[in-house]
Amino acid sequence: MASKPRVPAVEGWFTLGETPHLIGAQCRKCQTYFFPKTVTMCSNPSCDSADFDEVELSRTGRIWSYTQNCYAPPQPYVSPEPFEPYTVAAVELSHEKMVVLGQMPRDVDPEGLEAGTEVELVVGTLYEDDQSEYLMWNWKPVEA
Ligand SMILES: [Zn+2]
């Protein structure tokens, strides 16, 4: 049987491939970063720019906070059925210093995590149906 096409679960939020990146936006005037990139006005109170460049964000960061999610998340996150608890991490990107939420791979034991744990962006299967495999970014602890 041919393998199913692998497609992003949310279009335009991250790149695929060997070294996936989140796709963000950067204000041309004050350099503030945004994620996701769908921003219309800069949120910096001292900046009135509406011009942004699309940028690839850092692939690495450190856990700022994390939690075990025991409930199915809201859109655009789609959970496989039946629902299984998983870990969600808020990660401070190493360069941009902005915090981006993401699920962690299901084999990650939250007991082994702590604030400051270094993670990297990987792409994992969020769910699949008869047509395709749907992919989502995950924060995966960097092997020491
Ligand atoms: Zn700005």
Residue 14 lies inside a defined structural domain of this protein: no
Residue 39 lies inside a defined structural domain of this protein: no
Residue 116 lies inside a defined structural domain of this protein: yes
Ligand 1 centroid to Cα of residue 50, in Å, is: 7
Residue 18 lies inside a defined structural domain of this protein: no
Ligand 1 centroid to Cα of residue 96, in Å, is: 14
Tokens of 75: 């859109």
Domain that holds residue 68: 58-141
Highest mean pLDDT range out of 52-56, 86-90, 108-112?
Answer: 52-56
Total count of residues recorded for the chain: 144
Residue 79: per-residue pLDDT: 67
Ligand 1 centroid to Cα of residue 134, in Å, is: 33
Residue 127 lies inside a defined structural domain of this protein: yes
Average pLDDT value for residue range 89-107: 95
Ligand 1 centroid to Cα of residue 37, in Å, is: 13
pLDDT digits (tens, 9 = 90+) for 110-129: 888 999 999 999 999 988 89
Strands (DSSP E) contained in 9-143 are: 23-27, 33-34, 52-56, 60-69, 86-93, 99-103, 118-128, 133-141
Residue 83 lies inside a defined structural domain of this protein: yes
Q: How far is CA 51 from CA 29, 47, 54, 57, 64, in A?
A: 8, 11, 10, 18, 29
pLDDT digits (tens, 9 = 90+) for 18-46: 899 999 999 999 999 999 998 899 999 99
Residue 22 lies inside a defined structural domain of this protein: no
Ligand 1 centroid to Cα of residue 100, in Å, is: 19
Q: How many domains does the chain contain in total? A: 1
Residue 32 lies inside a defined structural domain of this protein: no
Q: What's the pTM value of the predicted model, to 2 decimals?
A: 0.86
Ligand 1 centroid to Cα of residue 128, in Å, is: 39
